[in-house]
Amino acid sequence: MVENPRGQFVTIEGCEGVGKSTNIAFIAESLKKADIPYILTREPGGTPLAEDIRNLFLSPRSERVAENTELLLVFAARAQHIAEVIEPALAAGTWVVCDRFTDATFAYQGGGRGISAAKIASLEQWVQDDLRPDFTLLLDAPIAIGMDRVSKRGELDRMEREHQQFFENVRNSYLEMAAQHGDRYRVIDASQNLCDVQKALSAIISEMLSHANR
Ligand code: Z5A
């Protein structure tokens, strides 16, 4: 019996309001048209337990959340997500399109909170073994643009209450990772109108499809 090739692991990253949810729907449509089996999922979250951890993680609270607590919460959710959803899907030949993954930890807990990259990398290795994204699509836009796009939403969650400099540090951290891991990163200018963003995305999706067919 011929085994399915392993699915591709595609992660979507970027700061708040850059259009991750909007464009994940576009990626899903393109994969469907190409007859590729896929699932959409997100972090923190993606399983009932991991979604409970997400709620703990994002709920505003009066108690200060220690940096290491925040870090361990995202990795606890990730461990569950990998074991129950991501690994079984990839092994079955299904593509996994994930709204944020460990690069968000390097950007937010690393760039934003100041936790060392070495500490995050040691948890990454421990929780993920060899699992790394095949492609990471970074939607990048100035912080003010993303903030403006989501400004009409209701109450802010715990992370959205952070200050401007925190988000600038997160963005810089993403751009540094993109420069460092050019093999898997593709950066899209998310400040363009949606039509141009999706034109750029289409070219990247074609590249991912031809890579998977090799
Ligand atoms: N977090 C962390 O700290 N560490 C970790 O390891 C992980 C996560 C995994 C999860 O939030 C939070 O957890 C996040 C990081 C942290 N905290 N923050 N802040 P999330 O990922 O669930 O939510 P988010 O980042 O806040 O995403 P979002 O606000 O939902 O934004 P989005 O999905 O990128 O954008 P959107 O909803 O697709 O678009 C926003 C609006 O803009 C919408 O009205 C669109 O119609 C519009 N839009 C989109 N694109 C365009 C263009 N090109 N032009 C004009 N308008 C547009």
CA of 99 to the centre of ligand 1 (A): 9
Ligand 1 site, residue 123, Cβ cutoff 6 A = no
186, two tokens = 């593709």
Pocket test for ligand 1, best of 13, 18, 99, 158 (most atoms within 8 A of CB): 18
CA of 21 to the centre of ligand 1 (A): 7
Q: Name the closest-CA residue to atom 36, ligand 1.
A: 19
Could you give the CA distance from residue 192 to residue 182 in angstroms, rounded to a whole number? Answer: 22
Could you give the CA distance from residue 139 to residue 15 in angstroms, rounded to a whole number? Answer: 8
pLDDT of amino acid 151: 83
Confidence of residue 152 (pLDDT cuts 50, 70, 90): confident
**Beta carbons of 188 and 197 less than 8 angstroms apart:** yes
Q: Name the closest-CA residue to atom 49, ligand 1.
A: 19
Task: Check whether 34 has a pLDDT greater than 60.
Answer: yes
> Across-strand partners of 28?
none
pLDDT of amino acid 21: 95
Task: Check whether 150 has a pLDDT greater than 90.
Answer: no
Could you give the CA distance from residue 107 to residue 113 in angstroms, rounded to a whole number? Answer: 9
**Beta carbons of 149 and 52 less than 8 angstroms apart:** no
The letter for the amino acid at 126 is: W
The CA angle 17-135-208, to the nearest 5 degrees, is 110
| Distances 119 to 76, 123, 126, 197 between C-alpha atoms, Å | 15, 7, 11, 34
**Beta carbons of 132 and 82 less than 8 angstroms apart:** no
Ligand 1 site, residue 43, Cβ cutoff 6 A = yes
| Average of per-residue pLDDT across 131-150 | 96
Note the pLDDT tens digit of each residue in 155-198. Answer: 889 999 999 999 999 999 999 999 999 999 999 999 999 999 99
